[in-house]
Chain A
Amino acid sequence: MKKLNNFVFLFFIFLSFSSYAQTVEQLKEELSFNENGKANLKVSIKLEKGNVYNLLIPYNFNGKISEISTEKGFYAEKVNIQGINYLFINRKDSIKFSECNITVIIDEYYDFNNEKISDFGNYLLKYRYINTRFSKIKNYLLKIVLPQKYNITSVDESIPEATEDSPKSPFKLGNKDGKYFVELTGENVKLGENLYIKFRFKENNKSILLAILLGFIAIGYLIIFKDLRKSKAEK
């Protein structure tokens, strides 16, 4: 009986959220984190048509959400439905809406001590967005901004990925205000599909020892092979 009650309760919750089976015109996520691993995630969503009273946006990141802020008149909180995490957005005045912006502060988003991989001081970052809610997301944009002194070594994997049929790279790298970032774009992300990026990054400083060593090699070469300065006849 208790199980049946739970099922009925969950069923009603699902039905009550009018965002289910909505088509999203655009979903943007901008995640920037600092050297302590604390992150700031800005989410902005625009529905294709029709207005809703409330909205569930699935999220799939680790860390503890310490604060959620919204535009004036909105209210947001995290909820977990059947093991899936969502940001639940509502208007305080129960007016329908089709666009909203939320900012989430995540403590301990990135653990610099545990995520360091052995090669060349690189760290690994994986980010996956699974569409567990909307019938389709027409345009998805993820921007991950690294802390000030870090830079992207290489993007090792992405979904979608460039293919012969679709040669345009789904990600691009950039730099704004001295911070390096990677942007991943996806189009027409259907319910159940996911977008993913895996990349390595590391501190931007390079060992000066290599420059000194190569300098010595160059000077040594010029000394050892100084006979090459002379013409063949002189030699």
Chain B
Amino acid sequence: MSFVKENAVINEELKNGRQENLDDLLDLEKHKLSVIPQKAETNTDRKMKYLGLPIAIIVFLLIYYMPTPAGLSLAGQSVLACFSFALILWVTESIPTHVTSLTLMVMLVFTDAWKMKSVLGVLGYDVIWLNVMAFILSSLLVKTNIAKRIALTLIVKFGHSALPMMLAFIVLQLALAPLIPATAARTVITLPIMLIVAAIYGSTSENPNNFGRNLFLQNLLGINILSAGFMTGSTANLIALAFIFSMAGTKVYYTDWMFANLPVVLVAMLIVWGIGPKLLFRLNKKEKEPAIEGGIDVLKKQLNAMGKFSALEKKGAIIFGIVVLMWVTDRFHFGLFGFEINAVMAAIVGGIIALLPRIGVLKWNEADIPWHLMLFSAGAYAGGLALNDTGAATWAVQSLFKAINFDKNINFWILYTVIIAVMMYSHFVFTSKTMRTIILIPFIIALAKELGINPLALALPAAFTIDWVIGLPISAKPNVILFTTGQYSVLDNLKYGFIVSTIGIILLVVAGMTWFKFLGITP
């Protein structure tokens, strides 16, 4: 069938009102992220909303007015109180999440927890800039129809039902992980595709469904933990290895890391892919298939109707290609140019080109930037950074270790499980992987030495948990960006993050007893 005939068929369908629905779903202009959607609420949501603020205030007062525990500063105590207050409000949504963030910023200053300059300075952090640029680049992919073309291609090939569609995203993230180490960059690349695929399955920011929750949270997991499959996946991985080398005298090579942990990460992804839509956010029959009347055939026709790459698409692809090229070649920049272009700067360069008159493809008004969610990110990040800066996060984790009180007769596997669990769950209080690594890994190595255990047996599996930062929207940069799509709530993220982290612990313990033993990592 020729392209002209295809269009004629689609026009005919449009007359029948079938295509209108598809256009509505695919037109992200109609689902602008910068507009706060009116979400439908359940009775449980209403009760949580009602009780959220009073509970948050009670928790705040209890922590703020209790005698300061030894080892914690007054500022640290205030941060703990303010952060707990905000966390309860983010989960219960008594007030909108961005208003909670603003409240948290004000409370941090009022309670002398963090200096005003530091609190306000968070808006200048790289994660916020990356967020802004992510949405400009995402708008570029949407406006030029590149995102639509990729999403339709993916759906036509894999999207007959939800599970193969989600598996396709795992494969996509796995392919991108070794090429682009920056997790935020991978998020930016795949975000518009996720948005369109979610829309086709009926999940929008106004009306998110369980497909959207599964898709976005599975991608959040994939983007983060697939970095754990490679030693170079994050700077924190390399810092952990530097500690293992300098403090324990063991050198871990790229392949040692990959052979040990990549299988664990892949198994984790497959388990979560399997149980996510069945147990965590159960898909109903409607959510398992594209919410398009006429199904895949209509989408096929839509893809065909797009024809060959338009000039606008080509222009958009070149601009985005330049950014991706800068992300992929980051390690060669210094040698080539004498300076390095990091992920954020590359995104800003892309944003500049995209917005340039005549050369670019976007006008400022077409960039869909959800500013309310930037404020959410800034406030949430301020809370997380204050936890780090005041030593409150370190105090919480060290207190936990002290309370456990290890002795020399402790069974290795009990110790191993506790270490992995503390390391894994510690991402709920640390917003920085680097901070978590530099505080906990040396402690674990020292503990192993004290107990007469090979430090590698504890420190390397503990290092494998560094990239499992999946519990909260502020746990890592990709989380901040993905949360701003409105496809899931803080509570959804918390629930998913906690359950999947627990699965991760079980997997690492099983791997420790079998696979790591075979590789000679554990005794």
Contact = CB atoms under 8 A, between A and B. Distances in A.
A216 to B, nearest CB: 10
B271 interface: no
Contacts of B43: 231-232
A221 B94 contact: yes
A231 B46 CA distance: 8
Contacts of B49: 225, 228
Contact of A154 (B57, B65, B390): B390
A167 B391 CA distance: 13
A155 interface: yes
Contacts of B75: 153-154
B95 to A, nearest CB: 9
A217 interface: yes
Contact of A218 (B57, B72, B239, B439): B57
Contact of B57 (A152, A167, A169, A214): A214
A173 B61 contact: no
Contacts of A38: none
B71 interface: yes
A173 B438 contact: no
Contacts, number: 78
A23 interface: no
B47 interface: yes
B50 A229 contact: yes
A54 interface: no
A177 to B, nearest CB: 12
Nearest to A121: B112
Contact of B74 (A164, A172, A202): A202
Contacts of A154: 73-76, 390
Given A169-B391, A204-B68, A211-B61, A221 B53 contact: yes
A202 B77 CA distance: 14
Contacts of B65: 206, 211
Main secondary structure, interface of B, reads helix
A124 B49 CA distance: 42
Interface string B124-147: 000000000000000000000000
A228 B46 contact: yes
B64 A206 contact: yes
Nearest to B54: A218
Interface string A148-166: 0001111100000010100
B123 to A, nearest CB: 21
A120 interface: yes
B54 A222 contact: yes
A127 B205 CA distance: 55
A151 B46 contact: no
Interface in B67-85: 68, 70-76
B60 interface: yes
B360 interface: no
Nearest to B74: A153
Interface string B20-51: 00000000000000000000011100110110
Nearest to B239: A164
Contact of B68 (A151, A164, A169): A151
Contacts of B71: 172-174
B442 interface: yes
Contact of B50 (A169, A215, A228): A228
Interface in A130-160: 151-155
A40 interface: no
B70 A155 contact: no
A154 B390 CA distance: 7
Contact of B70 (A173, A231, A232): A173
B73 A153 contact: yes
Interface string A183-225: 0000000000000000000101010001100110110011001
Given A222-B50, A225-B49, A228-B50, A173 B64 contact: no
A120 B239 CA distance: 38
Contacts of B434: 164
Interface string A113-132: 00000011010000000000
Contacts of B68: 151, 175, 180, 204
A228 B73 contact: no
Contacts of A221: 53-54, 94
Interface in B419-458: 434, 438-439, 442
A72 interface: no
Interface in A23-63: none
A2 interface: no
A152 B299 CA distance: 64
Contacts of A229: 46-47, 50
A168 interface: yes
A151 to B, nearest CB: 5
B73 A215 contact: no
B112 A168 contact: no
Nearest to A168: B442
Contacts of B394: 169
Nearest to A215: B57
Nearest to A225: B50
Contact of B73 (A155, A162, A214, A225): A155
26 contacts: A122-B112, A151-B73, A152-B73, A154-B74, A154-B75, A154-B390, A155-B73, A168-B442, A173-B73, A175-B68, A175-B70, A210-B64, A214-B57, A215-B57, A217-B53, A217-B57, A218-B53, A218-B54, A218-B57, A221-B94, A222-B54, A225-B50, A226-B50, A231-B43, A232-B41, A232-B46
Given A154-B74, A218-B57, 10 more contacts: A151-B73, A164-B239, A169-B391, A172-B71, A173-B71, A174-B70, A217-B53, A222-B50, A225-B49, A232-B46
8 cross-chain pairs, A with B, having the tightest CB-CB distances, nearest first = A228-B50, A167-B438, A120-B112, A154-B75, A218-B54, A175-B70, A231-B43, A218-B57
Interface of B: 41-43, 46-47, 49-50, 53-54, 57-58, 60-61, 64-65, 68, 70-76, 94, 112, 239, 390-391, 394, 434, 438-439, 442
